[in-house]
Structure 1
Amino acid sequence: MKTDESLPGRRVLLRGAALFALAATAGCAGTERSGTAPRPSASPGPAAGAQAVRPQKPSAYRLQPMTGYGPQRAAVGRTPVRSKPILRMADRDRRMVLTFDDGPDPLYTPDILDTLRKHDVRAMFFVCGEMAEANPDLLRRMVDEGHTIGNHTFTHPQLTLMRRTGIRDEIERTSAAVLDAVGRPPLWFRAPYGAWNRSAFEIGAELGMEPLAWTVDTLDWREPGSGTIVRRVLQGAGPGVVVLSHDAGGNRSQTVKALRNYLPQLLDDGYRIGVPQRMLM
């Protein structure tokens, strides 16, 4: 686990990198199955024989997220400090967003990436910093294949029980880990357990990130069976819906199996599955 010997300098670097990325990703767009765009090649996961990093211990997921619809308009180059997270994207063109929290995990994330690549679909991965530091190749594969990486803190604590300095450390260290792995910081943030507070919103905005919650919770962390996960996604599907799943934090084999089932059904039903670009309003 790295320590930051120049925290003020790292904060300046993160803010500068976030503003640079902000200028390069205006608008909101999803990437969907078209049959014309070249499909990125897969990057290998952890080398064979390498010691696999175990997923985080399962915890008492998951508090209910605050409701919020957005994004609101803000000046170009600035991230608004919100009082609620974005709960769903703009309702248009039957677009949906698939999100995966707590990874990357070498046991499950590669299978999820394989399925997404098979169907030429992009998703969002809200990574924990300690997992990102241990598996930087998986972050690079995500970016190479067009996925969006978000910040999910370093160790997955409940931020509402922490002091502001601790919250900042959790968020900044994860943004730094992503920056180190892929060359740019995340532009989206999700609080563990859906537990947000003013400090989380303010620090996230300071680092150039928008807060994203979810519309449909698969509750896959309870391991309810892949069929139940599939049913929850299909029943909750709709324009602008953001689906919450997990690729780490426990046994995620049911999540992997469910994705293989519901993803082609969503596409056959006319949903366009993609990732939101950073929005300048």
Structure 2
Amino acid sequence: MPAPAAPAARGALDPAKNAPLNELSRDGRVLALTIDDGPDPRNTPAVLAVLRRYGVRATFFMVGQNAAANPSLVRAVADEGHHIANHTWSHPDLRRLTEAQVNAELQRTCDVLEKLTGKPPTWFRAPGGDWAPVTIRVCSALGLRPMGWSVDPMDWARPGTAAITTRVLTAVRPGSIVLNHDGGGDRSQTVAALRAYLPVLIDRGYAFTAPP
């Protein structure tokens, strides 16, 4: 008897309608703050403290192997009301993988995030924003919506707190999706920049949301 087919994951999406979301609606002064590559035992608690201080809700795109290694941090992020999303298992260049390998990267991460939070992730971000057609197909099959960004302060390169802050404040506009990182190395500049630019954006009348 042949092995039963694997169950469809959380309802497949139409690939033709599954283009990466790079901006929210420009109606109203609303932004989305996104945090990639964690969780990290040094950086993530510092980021959470800043978000808590200013009452900002963010979307954390988590690397599956980091989530598995830091389950209490995953739960802490969820408990504070932030949105948890999929950023692959090992942060590879998806363009170099087969469809089966891409599926494994995404599915394994979905499984660990759902196990730790009780909720399946609904959004996915490709490492580096590299949206190969195979990645879109796998996203669609797993019921994950792809999200990009519109404001990249390149904090991953550690250009300095002032540079990160200036780039965000200069580029942001209603509907922006802002990219930051809490994993992948020392993110003290990112944490300091969040402390600097979040109160400025709030004073400008912006509110923060996690995409549905």
Paired positions, count: 208
Residue of structure 2 equivalent to 1:142: 77
Which of 33, 46, 55 is 1:111 aligned to?
46
What is the CA-CA distance between 1:116 and the residue it aligns to? Answer: 0.6
Matches within 5 A, 1:73-92: 79-81=13-15, 82=17, 84-92=19-27
Which of 121, 130, 142 is 2:65 aligned to?
130
Matches within 5 A, 1:3-14: 12=7
| Counterparts of 2:152 and 2:32, CA distance in 1 | 12
What is the CA-CA distance between 1:201 and the residue it aligns to? Answer: 1.0
Q: What RMSD over aligned residues (CA atoms) do the two structures have, in Å?
A: 1.6
The alignment partner of 1:264 has SS state of helix
What is the CA-CA distance between 1:121 and the residue it aligns to? Answer: 1.0
Residue of structure 2 equivalent to 1:266: 201
Contact 1:95–1:272 (CA under 8 A) maintained in structure 2: yes
Which of 86, 90, 102 is 1:155 aligned to?
90
Residue of structure 1 equivalent to 2:121: 186
| Counterparts of 1:175 and 1:83, CA distance in 2 | 18
**Structure 2: which amino acid aligns with 1:211?**
P
| Counterparts of 1:160 and 1:83, CA distance in 2 | 18
1:211 partnered with 2:149: no
| Counterparts of 2:167 and 2:112, CA distance in 1 | 33
1:228 partnered with 2:163: yes
Percent of aligned pairs with the same residue?
Answer: 43
What is the CA deviation profile of residues 76-107 of structure 1, one whole-angstrom value per residue up to 9, with x for unaligned ones?
xx633246311111111110011011000011
The alignment partner of 2:46 has SS state of helix
| Counterparts of 2:142 and 2:52, CA distance in 1 | 30
Contact 1:102–1:246 (CA under 8 A) maintained in structure 2: yes
**Structure 2: which amino acid aligns with 1:202?**
R
Which ranges of structure 2 fall in alignment gaps of 5 or more residues?
none
**Structure 1: which amino acid aligns with 2:191?**
V
Which of 136, 139, 142 is 1:201 aligned to?
136
Contact 1:83–1:198 (CA under 8 A) maintained in structure 2: no
Contact 2:18–2:140 (CA under 8 A) maintained in structure 1: no
Which ranges of structure 1 fall in alignment gaps of 5 or more residues?
1-7, 20-77
| Counterparts of 1:85 and 1:200, CA distance in 2 | 11
Query: What is the TM-score of this pair, normalised by structure 2?
Result: 0.93
Query: What is the TM-score of this pair, normalised by structure 1?
Result: 0.71
What is the CA-CA distance between 1:156 and the residue it aligns to? Answer: 0.3
What is the CA deviation profile of residues 126-175 of structure 1, one whole-angstrom value per residue up to 9, with x for unaligned ones?
00000000111111111111111111000000101111111011010110
| Counterparts of 1:206 and 1:94, CA distance in 2 | 33
**Structure 2: which amino acid aligns with 1:140?**
R
1:176 partnered with 2:111: yes
